[in-house]
Structure 1
Amino acid sequence: MEWTGARYADRPTVEVRTWIDAPPEKVWALVSDIELMPDMSEELRSVAWLDGATRPAVGARFVGRSEHEALGSWQTTSHVIECEPESVLAWAVEDPAAPSAVWRFRLRSERGGTELAQWMQLGPGRSGLSAAIDRMPDKEQKIVFVRLREFERNITVTLARIKQRAEA
């Protein structure tokens, strides 16, 4: 049976949503505090603003350090590409014109609380996953599928931790 899944060049995406029993302003305070994110994430180890920035704004940059059992440790610089308080926060990893990934939190007032979605897109720029694909091009679709499932699991954990803090 031939593997039929997304290729990296397809810019595959993952999105996970949760409902939080807290107003958008409280949820925004958590998702926009990027220095809290290592406590919420399975891979992210540290985050720090660059260039004197202290909060998200379009054009602000931050460095993130991550770790993965199979991929090792790495550092990336991200650029905030969307920032609407209590609504959306998005960043492009590395080159904003051809990012290795794009990440987005979207908040929506719903049923007296907040629907929080976290979305991510692989590519189109090269990433650590690109090296694995280069080594095993015949397994590209499986590599992409497995990594997207990891992101889905990790995002689910992140949203659960944000929900727990917001509802506390």
Structure 2
Amino acid sequence: MPAPLIEESIEIAGTPEQVWSVVSDLARMGEWSPQCKKMFIFGGPVKPGTRTLNINRRGPLLWPTRAKVVVFETNREIAWKIAENTTVWAYRITETGDGVTVTQSRTAPGGKTTALSSFLVDKAFGGNDAFETELAAGMRESLGKIKRAVEN
């Protein structure tokens, strides 16, 4: 059973606007994420309701997912819901005295995903615990890359 919430945070020496310009540009997701290699954006600039086609990779496995932007609060939060497993991925920006805290999260409402997703995680990704440990490590990697992009 998936964890209802996986999240990681990082402190970044930047403004909410600087971080927003990076995390809201979903076409750049392949630069940050070790798993989502490309997000194709449909319908112009990213906004509420924007749909994406995502190409994911883990070792020799390659698979597409579809998403819809469900939260879009400029300089604060962006989130998208994955159609295939109903999880919601988000970046939340919180201003601090010295910059911002950026939190990346994956929410599985009610601690559930689809039956197909659960089956694939179990059979192709080594089980839920191992996969979610990998997702958390990937979040830390993504946040580190975002931090470097903003601060450099």
Secondary structure in 1 aligned to 2:127?
A: helix
Q: Distance in 2 between matches of 1:167 and 1:44?
A: 23
Displacement of 1:129: 4.1
Distance in 1 between residues matched to 2:105 and 2:4, nearest whole Å: 11
Residue equivalent to 1:3:
none
Whether the aligned pair in 2 keeps the contact of 1:13 and 1:148 (CA below 8 Å) is no
Q: Distance in 2 between matches of 1:143 and 1:60?
A: 31
Q: How big is the shift at 1:58?
A: 1.5
Equivalent residues of 1:23, 1:112 under 8 A apart: no
- In structure 1, how many angstroms separate the alpha carbons of the residues matched to 2:120 and 2:98? 45
Which amino acid in the other structure matches residue 44 of structure 2?
A
Partner residue of 2:141?
Answer: 157
Q: Which runs of no fewer than 5 residues in structure 1 stay unpaired?
A: 1-6, 137-141
SS at match of 2:17: helix
Q: What is the CA deviation profile of residues 105-126 of structure 1, one whole-angstrom value per residue up to 9, with x for unaligned ones?
A: 0001102301100000244334
Question: What's the CA shift for 1:130?
Answer: 2.4
1:92 to 76, 81, 95: 81
Q: Distance in 2 between matches of 1:29 and 1:105?
A: 12
User: 1:82-132 CA deviation, whole Å, 9 max, x = no partner?
Assistant: 01001010010016xx71x21010001102301100000244334544234
Q: Which consecutive aligned stretches of 4+ in structure 1 deviate over 6 angstroms post-superposition?
A: none
Using the alignment, how far apart are the partners of 2:59 and 2:116 within structure 1? 16
**1:53 shift after superposition:** 2.4
The structural deviation recorded for 1:17 is 0.4
**Secondary structure of the corresponding residue to residue 19 of structure 1:** strand
Which of these two proteins has the greater Rg computed from alpha carbons? 1
SS at match of 1:18: strand
Task: Write out per-residue CA displacement over residues 44-99 of structure 1, whole angstroms, 9 at most, x where no aligned residue.
Answer: 1111111x2222x22111111011126x110111000101001010010016xx71
In structure 2, the residue matched to 1:4 is none
Report the Cα offset of residue 22 of structure 1: 0.3
Q: Which among 101, 106, 113 is matched to residue 124 of structure 1? A: 113
How high is the TM-score relative to the length of structure 2?
A: 0.88
**Cα offset, 1:43, TM superposition:** 1.2
Q: Which amino acid aligns with 1:146?
A: A
Provide the rounded CA distance (Å) in 1 between the counterparts of 2:57 and 2:97. Answer: 37
Instruction: Determine which of 67, 77, 94 is the counterpart of 2:66.
Output: 77
State the one-letter code of the partner of 1:19. E
Number of aligned residues: 148
Q: In percent, how many aligned pairs have the same letter?
A: 21
TM-score by length of 1: 0.80
RMSD: 2.0
Does the C-alpha gap of structure 1 residues 54 and 14 become closer, same or farther in structure 2, counting only changes over 3 Å?
Answer: same
31, 39, 45: which one pairs with 1:54? 45
